[in-house]
Amino acid sequence: MPLSAKAGLLIVLVFAFAAIFGPWLAPHGEAEIVGDVWEPFSTTFPLGTDSLGRDILSRMLWAARNTIGVALAATLLSFALGMTLGYVAAVVGGWVDLVLSRLIDTIMAIPTLIFALVVLAVLPPSLLTLILVIAVLDSTRVFRLSRAVAMDVAVMDYVEVARLRGERLPWIIFREVLPNTLPPLIAEFGLRFCFAFLFLSSLSFLGLGIQPPAADWGGMVRDNANAISFGLIVPLIPAAAIAILTIGVNLVVDWQLERSSTVRRRA
């Protein structure tokens, strides 16, 4: 494993640890006001306080679970939806492939951010709505990739043999096609997680993501944006967390892509 991949994996593990155990490690509650507005770094508040006097370190740890959890749930759902439809379109073909492909093209023709803003502005704000919106928008990209890789496998001899044996569609998809198309999809999972993670942060910054008083890195940047005018770096702390996690995931994805391409060349 190259040094860059080790660094990326370490970053991902640290953030995963924070997301899992953050609420127990946080010295204060998620929305607890414990000091004055924008207090500087100190032994009491290692990262200072925010615009309402809440501990930044505690908010960062609580936000790790909220931000990463919602992004991960949306990514998992988008892959479950996009991969299933993509494999069905590739294996069945014909009018099923045509209808699904045109439906996906229609959704992709709508600007992603505008679509999300309209839907989230109309529907009642909730984590479930947020996850569903991000998952549906992201599943279109997953559909295109899974359909492309599945079409190459669906014409192989062993798939035709399975058809002649009378195997049903779920068997062909999950026993014949899926195992032979996983490497690019595993790498794509990391990229789609980054998209969901950044998209969620953008929505929270605009006020339509995770709603206060729940902590979220994008929302923390918005809440403390005015601190920049006073020469404070408070909003840069959650922004740095967003950037570092994105870099870490991309380092692991790059290593996975290189590893899978090396295996194919050797094969």
Residue 200 CA to its chain's centroid (Å): 8
* pLDDT for residue 260: 64
What's the confidence (pLDDT) of residue 117? Answer: 85
Tokens of 110: 């709508």
Question: Could you give the percent of the chain with pLDDT greater than 70?
Answer: 97
- Whole-structure pTM value: 0.87
Rounded average pLDDT over 138-149? 89
What residue ranges define each of the domains in the chain, with the CATH number in brackets? 20-266 (1.10.3720.10)
- The Cβ-side half-sphere exposure at 165, using a 13 Å CA radius, reads 12
The Cα 165–Cα 116 span in angstroms is 45
Residue pair 181/150 in contact by the 8 Å Cβ criterion: yes
Residue 137 structure tokens: 């928008």
pLDDT digit string, tens, across residues 63-73? 999 999 999 99
92: pLDDT confidence band, cut at 50, 70 and 90? confident
Query: Percentage of the chain with pLDDT > 90?
Result: 24
**What burial class does residue 14 get, using C-beta atoms within 10 Å of its C-beta: 0-12 exposed, 13-18 middle, 19+ buried?**
middle
Structure tokens at 11: 């970053």
Q: Which residue has the tokens 């899974």?
A: 146
pLDDT tens-digit readout, 147-169: 888 888 777 777 777 777 777 87
- Asked whether the predicted pLDDT for residue 264 surpasses 60, the reply is no
Q: What is the mean pLDDT of residues 43-66?
A: 90
Ranked by mean pLDDT, the top range of 80-84, 93-97, 164-168 is: 80-84
Mean pLDDT of the chain: 85
Closest CA to 83 of 30, 10, 29, 145: 145
- Non-local (6+) Cβ contacts of 233 within 8 A are 227
Average pLDDT over residues 11-28: 92
